[in-house]
């Protein structure tokens, strides 16, 4: 699958609930961030966990989140980054 | 040892003999140990891998220590061109310099600490760690407490490790949530510019490459 986001793009992590294995932490779901790196595509871990091939491979991005966006209170000069697969991201505005 | 039997109360660590044979691994719940054994024996029986494959992998895993990372860090401090390659694409840069095979290990990215920016690594979902270069992670790295708190109150967690950063320094908490493993390139301590690369290797600690500490120049 082709990477649709580039560094600098504003994105939002999908606020979905899944009952099965997934690598998108709960604390970042629904949060807005900015793409900082594009890492290439990797097998989808949600399929790998169940002995499937993980196709289509999902582009992986490093996303930067402001502390306040994540926790709802300000913290001086603090940023959180996490690596999120494309199918968990939507364009923000 | 037999002498101790006559003096059970003379204050030896509650009577525990530190040289007694070790009967079981510490900290592994009996049911987890049973599950591991059942799974291992099945995989070997079904020829998924052999006992020797497993032994070889354990031996390889345990041969990796933070000294490998320290060598990479010291080399990056001494060679700006190498540093640029390391930051751009860590895996080939580390493979080439250390002469180790990282082909079957997860992807690696090196993040650089600067006077204005400090990175600290974690894995909130499990215990992802750059084992191929730093070896087995410390127990605290895998603890629910570190994983939960470092993303919520990183400055407080760093302070508990004895690391107080100036207010102007941005903290970047790097959560390893997917296929990428991270290593911190710590800031070279001031006053070490004249040290040889070999001497610099000895300065670099595991915790500085996780980002819970900063390095200081050796005391004279």
How many structural domains is chain B composed of? 2
Measured distance CA(B114)–CA(B184) in Å, rounded:
11
Q: Give yes or no: residues B93 and B34 share one domain.
A: no
What is d(CA B18, CA B38) in angstroms, rounded to the nearest whole number?
A: 31
- Chain A residues with beta carbon closer than 8 angstroms to that of B155: 75-76, 78
**Strand partners for B110:** B183
Q: Which of B165, B178, B211 to mutate to test the interface with A (most CBs of A within 10 A)?
A: B178
Domain assignment of residue B2, yes or no? no
CB contacts, 8 Å: A42 with chain B: 178-179
Select A10-76's CATH number: 2.115.10.20, 2.30.30.50, 3.40.50.1980, 1.10.10.10.
2.30.30.50
Q: Are residues B134 and B58 in the same domain?
A: no
**B79 interface with A at CB cutoff 8 Å:** no
Other C-beta atoms closer than 10 Å to the C-beta of A92 total 12
pLDDT score of B11: 45
- Partners of A27 on chain B (C-beta within 8 Å) are 124, 151
Given this model, what pLDDT does residue A39 score? 96
Q: How far is A93 from chain B (nearest CA, A)?
A: 25
Look at residue B3 and tell me if it is in a domain: no
- The pLDDT assigned to B142 comes to 96
**B48 lies in which domain range?**
25-63
Nearest to B167 among A39, A76, A84 (CB): A76
- The pLDDT of B134-162, averaged and rounded, is 97
Residue in chain A nearest B178 by alpha carbon:
A83
The model carries a pTM of 0.88
Each residue of B163-202: pLDDT tens digit?
A: 999 989 999 999 999 999 999 999 999 999 999 999 999 9
One DSSP character per residue, B91-125 reads HHHHHHHHT---TTS-EEEEEE-BTTEEEEEE-SS
Instruction: Tell me the per-residue pLDDT of A82-92, one tens digit each, with 9 for 90 and over.
Output: 999 999 999 99
Taking the Cβ of residue B112 and every Cβ of chain A, the question of whether any pair is shorter than 8 Å is answered with no
Contacts of B154 in chain A (CB under 8 A): 78
A69 within 8 A of A31, measured Cβ to Cβ: yes
B169 touches chain A (CB under 8 A): yes
pLDDT tops 70 at residue B93: yes
Does the residue B165 lie in any domain? Answer: yes
CATH of the domain at B157: 3.90.330.10
Residue B132 lies in a domain: yes
Q: Cβ contact (<8 Å) for B179 and A60?
A: yes
DSSP symbols for A25-75:
-GGGTT-EEEEEEEEEEE--HHHHTTT---PSPEEEEEEEEEHHHHHSS--
Tell if the CB–CB gap between B175 and A83 is shorter than 8 Å. Answer: yes
B173 and B70 in a common domain: yes
Number of C-alpha atoms within 13 angstroms, CB side, residue A30?
A: 8
């Amino acid at each position: 699958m082709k990477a649709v986001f580039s560094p600098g793009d504003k994105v939002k992590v999908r606020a979905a609930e899944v009952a099965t294995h997934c690598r998108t932490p709960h604390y970042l779901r629904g949060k807005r961030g900015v793409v900082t790196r594009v890492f290439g595509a990797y097998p989808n871990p949600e399929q790998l966990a169940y002995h499937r091939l993980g196709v289509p491979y999902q582009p992986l991005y490093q996303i930067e989140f402001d502390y306040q966006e994540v926790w709802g209170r300000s913290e001086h000069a603090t940023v959180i980054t996490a690596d999120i697969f494309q199918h968990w991201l939507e364009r923000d505005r | 040892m037999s002498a101790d039997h006559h003096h059970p109360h003379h204050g030896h660590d509650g009577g525990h003999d530190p040289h007694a044979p070790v009967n079981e691994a510490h900290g592994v719940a009996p049911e987890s140990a049973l599950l591991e054994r059942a799974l291992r024996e099945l995989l070997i029986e079904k020829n998924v891998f052999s006992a020797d494959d497993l032994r070889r992998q354990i031996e390889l895993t345990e041969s990796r220590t933070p000294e490998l990372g320290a060598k990479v860090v010291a080399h990056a401090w001494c060679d700006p061109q190498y540093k640029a390659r390391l930051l751009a694409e860590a895996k080939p840069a580390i493979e080439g310099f250390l002469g180790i095979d990282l082909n079957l290990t997860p992807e690696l990215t090196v993040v650089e600490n600067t006077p204005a920016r400090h990175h600290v690594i974690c894995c909130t979902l499990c215990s992802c760690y750059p084992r191929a270069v730093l070896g087995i992670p410390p127990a605290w790295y895998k603890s629910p407490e570190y994983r939960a708190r470092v993303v919520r109150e990183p400055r407080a967690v760093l302070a508990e490790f004895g690391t107080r950063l100036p207010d102007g320094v941005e903290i970047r908490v790097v959560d390893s949530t997917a296929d990428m493993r991270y290593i911190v390139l710590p800031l070279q301590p001031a006053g070490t510019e004249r040290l040889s690369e070999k001497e610099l290797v000895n300065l670099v600690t595991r915790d500085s490459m996780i980002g819970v500490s900063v390095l200081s120049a050796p005391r004279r």
